[in-house]
Structure 1
Amino acid sequence: MERILVAGANGTTGKQVVEILNNTEGYAPVAMVRKESQMEQFKSKNIDTVLGDLENDLSHAVQNIDKVIFAAGSGGKKVVAVDQEGAKNLIREAEKANVKKFVMLSSMGADAPEKAEKLQDYLKAKHNADEFLKQSKVPYAIVRPGTLNNESAKGTIKIGDSLEKKGEITRADVANTLVSSLRESTTTNKTYEILQGDLKIDEALKQI
């Protein structure tokens, strides 16, 4: 049973990641949240939780953790402190703890934030966090979805190193892609963009 730390477990996408992990054989999610009041929703389902603030010491959060999914975000309020430096903080601790894989939820546009028409500060922060992860010693997968929506899961995506067009994808399918990226060896040390498409998620990840 692999213990998977989910950073940003209280977020809209993070909650779905925890739920998928909890219902997937071989995984035991550990929900990382910032406030004690956020813990009960997970504890009531017998899901392990840990208090962790990305802006503070996180050494305790990675103890006995096999892999990490980073689905945290500041919602545009603290892009440097959370989306960039907070991510780097967790990556450092994951490296020290010999975590076997770090799956980063990034964003389309993070490869070239200077070209973006909007959200440049956010995309720059994500870019810097992604680059820091690539240069670490932790095996990684960096997943860059298009615009997220809250529609029901389709179970199918389009994938590529760099997709030519913009588009949307459901949060549910992003969450499933993040979880599938934990297992697929083809995704290790790869960065890939995803949109809604026609390929089943597991099949798509085998092609990257």
Structure 2
Amino acid sequence: MKVLVVGANGQIGQQLVMLLQASHVYSVRALVRTEGQLKAFEQSGVEAVMGNLEETVEQLESVVRDCEAVIFTAGSGGKTGYDKTLLIDLDGAVKMIEASKNMGIKRFVMVSALQAHNRKNWNEQLKPYYVAKHYADRILMESGLTYTIIRPGGLLNEDGTGKVTIGENLERGMIPREDVAKTVIASLQESNVFNKAFDIVSGETTIAEAVGDYKD
């Protein structure tokens, strides 16, 4: 299975590309925004392509061509204004969903945010970010694609533990980015989480068990 990673140069994205590249099951294409990022991935033996989520759907179709799955982990970042949150986290995600549908891709995994589906639990200081995630997730769920939406808690840069808790409505918690990336990979072909959405934080259950036994 060939997988496009959208947001490949981000911290979770880089973990995903590394895991997919090392896999015997998957091949990976990294979507990046700059020539420097492109060259860095290519020097590591990773197929990379330049694109911008503010481009048209038609332009993004060429990015997903020949892929079988898309992982969306792009974000505007904390240093931009909420205008970019709207353009990247919401409209960029929706355009990638549309491009995937147009190119016949069936599988789409979205990295969202803890409790993005539950308005009463949004962080008031980040409300526009949660609005963007909420509606991008809803549009994916209504798209007809085979989706999985993974909503991580606070993200850590420390080594992963390989153990998580997943559920429909979890209390706020933290999780290493490495464990988020490994959960995304574990979800790609696990039919138990097809057309499912869940929160995820660190826990006591192995990723494989948590994903394989998940009941919403």
The one-letter code of the counterpart of 2:68 is: D
Task: Number of aligned residue pairs: give it.
Answer: 206
Out of 140, 148, 164, the residue aligned to residue 141 of structure 1 is: 148
Q: Is the 8 A contact 1:98 1:138 kept in 2?
A: no
Relative distance call for 1:115 and 1:155 in structure 2 (3 A) is closer
Two-structure CA RMSD over aligned residues (Å): 1.0
Residue 122 of structure 1 is matched in structure 2 by: 129
Residue 7 of structure 1 is matched in structure 2 by: 6
The one-letter code of the counterpart of 1:44 is: Q
User: In the alignment, is residue 169 of structure 1 matched against residue 175 of structure 2?
Assistant: yes
The one-letter code of the counterpart of 1:104 is: M
How much does 1:112 deviate? 2.3
Q: How does 1:1-208 map to 2 (within 5 A)?
A: 2-56=1-55, 57-76=59-78, 77=80, 78-113=84-119, 115-116=121-122, 117-163=124-170, 165-208=171-214
Q: Distance in 2 between matches of 1:176 and 1:60?
A: 27
Q: Is the 8 A contact 1:150 1:171 kept in 2?
A: yes
Q: Distance in 2 between matches of 1:119 and 1:197?
A: 25
Q: Render the CA deviation track for 1:67-86: whole Å, top value 9, x for unaligned.
A: 01101000142110000000
Corresponding residue SS for 1:140: strand
Q: Distance in 2 between matches of 1:100 and 1:135?
A: 13
Q: Distance in 1 between matches of 2:121 and 2:184?
A: 26
Q: Is the 8 A contact 2:115 2:199 kept in 1?
A: no
Q: Distance in 2 between matches of 1:6 and 1:63?
A: 13
Corresponding residue SS for 1:74: coil
Corresponding residue SS for 1:193: strand
Q: TM-score, structure 1 length as denominator?
A: 0.96
Corresponding residue SS for 1:64: coil
Q: TM-score, structure 2 length as denominator?
A: 0.93
The one-letter code of the counterpart of 1:127 is: H
Q: Is the 8 A contact 1:113 1:120 kept in 2?
A: no
Relative distance call for 1:22 and 1:3 in structure 2 (3 A) is same
Corresponding residue SS for 2:97: helix
Q: Distance in 2 between matches of 1:54 and 1:179?
A: 23
Gap runs ≥5 in structure 2: none
Q: Is the 8 A contact 1:6 1:70 kept in 2?
A: yes
The one-letter code of the counterpart of 1:103 is: V
**Fraction of identical pairs, as percent:** 40
The one-letter code of the counterpart of 2:130 is: L
The one-letter code of the counterpart of 1:170 is: P
Relative distance call for 1:115 and 1:160 in structure 2 (3 A) is closer
Flag the structure with higher helix content.
Answer: 2
